[in-house]
A and B are shown apart, each in its own frame.
Chain A
Amino acid sequence: MSDEIRRPNSELWDEFAGSGDAPARLKSRVFSRVNLEQAKEGPLASVSESKGAGRVLCVFENIMEVAPTGDAIKRMNYCRVSHARVLAENMEQAPIWWPGCPYAQFQK
């Protein structure tokens, strides 16, 4: 047991929530790593499921969503093979502007 009262996590969160963002490069790396961990545990949600949940797909995912392919193809980790990932993980202010691209979202 602590001899002192520790600050609640929510208080700590409030303190740091307004103190600035993280570098876009770091967000990109975190996202890519979590994606890899998710893929290790099972198939990712399909692009159709994401779209059905109201999420915005990127141009490439939109094509795959309507393409006459099997479910397994629609669950692939497209971000892994996207040049946007490579740029975003290595550059701050990477030149990515695609709507619906997570790596572009991190640049804002």
Chain B
Amino acid sequence: MDLLKIGLPADEPAGPIHPDVALAQAVLQRDRKATAEWVDRFTGPVYQYVRHRLAPRTDQVDDLVQDIFIAAWQYLPGYRGGSPLGAWVMGIARHKVEDHYRRRLREWESWDATPGAPEPADDAARSVEEVFDRERRSEKTQRVLTGLPEHYAAALSWRYWEHRSAREIAEATGRAEKAVERLLARARENFKRRWDEA
């Protein structure tokens, strides 16, 4: 691969290289100083995002952030400068966070233990969705999420913050859509009860 051609399609005249593309090139050339700049600039927002999304499992944040940067390094040859480098790294972070949710829900062993769980009540679903949207960065939301069982928090975060439907979650976890809806219903009930008490 010709590293110097990153961000510059062959049929376009060479012009000034965007600073993000130049930084990506330098990192790909294994320049330690450029790599330090890359890590310094982009770790903060990625860390804040992952910490927010992984509540209550904040003990896993550091490992996941490291995995994100290793993956970003591996995929960096594909960066063409079509978007800011920060947004590109954030895209990788989102994939890794969704992998985390998938693992958490796959590890949950009680999928089939609650077949009679109630269907979600429309008003409860709406109010929880509103809280997740309106109060997503509030300390109260984080506190309530931290108090939830891990699989509930993962399901709600995946559904409302990453905007994945029950069908998509079902496909990703290899479960029936109905089972995911039941899980979400219980998670919402639990969240709403704790929210009202908090």
B114 interfacial by beta-carbon distance below 8 Å: no
Residues of A within 8 A of B168 (CB): 2-3
> B5-13, B35-43, B102-110, B183-191: which one contacts chain A?
B35-43
A13 with B90: CB separation less than 8 A: yes
CB distance from A48 to the nearest CB of B (A): 11
Mark B32-51 against chain A: 1 for CB-CB distance below 8 A, else 0.
11111001100111111100
Q: Determine the main DSSP class of B at the interface with A.
A: helix
Contacts A9-B91, A10-B86, A16-B46 supplied; 16 other A-B pairs, CB < 8 Å: A6-B163, A9-B94, A10-B90, A13-B87, A21-B44, A30-B65, A31-B35, A35-B32, A37-B74, A39-B30, A43-B30, A45-B34, A49-B31, A53-B31, A55-B33, A102-B32
B43 with A38: CB separation less than 8 A: no
A26 with B47: CB separation less than 8 A: yes
**A interface residues, how many (CB within 8 angstroms):** 46
In the complex, the chain A residue whose C-beta lies closest to that of B67 is A33
A22 with B84: CB separation less than 8 A: no
Residues of A within 8 A of B47 (CB): 21-23, 26
In the complex, the chain A residue whose C-beta lies closest to that of B85 is A13
The answer to whether A19 and B163 touch (CB under 8 A), given A34-B70, A56-B33, is no
B135 interfacial by beta-carbon distance below 8 Å: no
Interface residues, chain A, with chain B CB atoms under 8 Å away = 2-10, 12-13, 16-17, 19-23, 26-27, 29-31, 33-35, 37-39, 41-45, 49-50, 53, 55-57, 77, 79, 100, 102, 105-106
CB distance from A50 to the nearest CB of B (A): 5
Residues of A within 8 A of B167 (CB): 3
Interface residues, chain B, with chain A CB atoms under 8 Å away = 26, 29-36, 39-40, 43-49, 52, 62, 65-66, 69-70, 73-74, 83-84, 86-91, 94, 137, 162-165, 167-168
Give Cα distance in the complex from A84 to B137, angstroms: 35
Contact for B163 among A2, A31, A102, A106, CB less than 8 A? A2
CB distance from A101 to the nearest CB of B (A): 9
Residues of A within 8 A of B65 (CB): 22, 26, 30
Give Cα distance in the complex from A41 to B33, angstroms: 17
The answer to whether A10 and B84 touch (CB under 8 A), given A2-B165, A31-B39, is yes
Contact for A44 among B30, B44, B165, CB less than 8 A? B30
The answer to whether A50 and B33 touch (CB under 8 A), given A2-B163, A6-B162, A10-B87, is yes
The answer to whether A77 and B32 touch (CB under 8 A), given A6-B163, A12-B90, A53-B26, is yes
Residues of A within 8 A of B94 (CB): 9, 12
B32 with A37: CB separation less than 8 A: no
B73 with A34: CB separation less than 8 A: yes
In the complex, the chain B residue whose C-beta lies closest to that of A102 is B36
List the 6 shortest-distance A-B pairs measured between CB atoms, nearest first: A102-B36, A22-B47, A55-B33, A10-B87, A45-B31, A21-B44
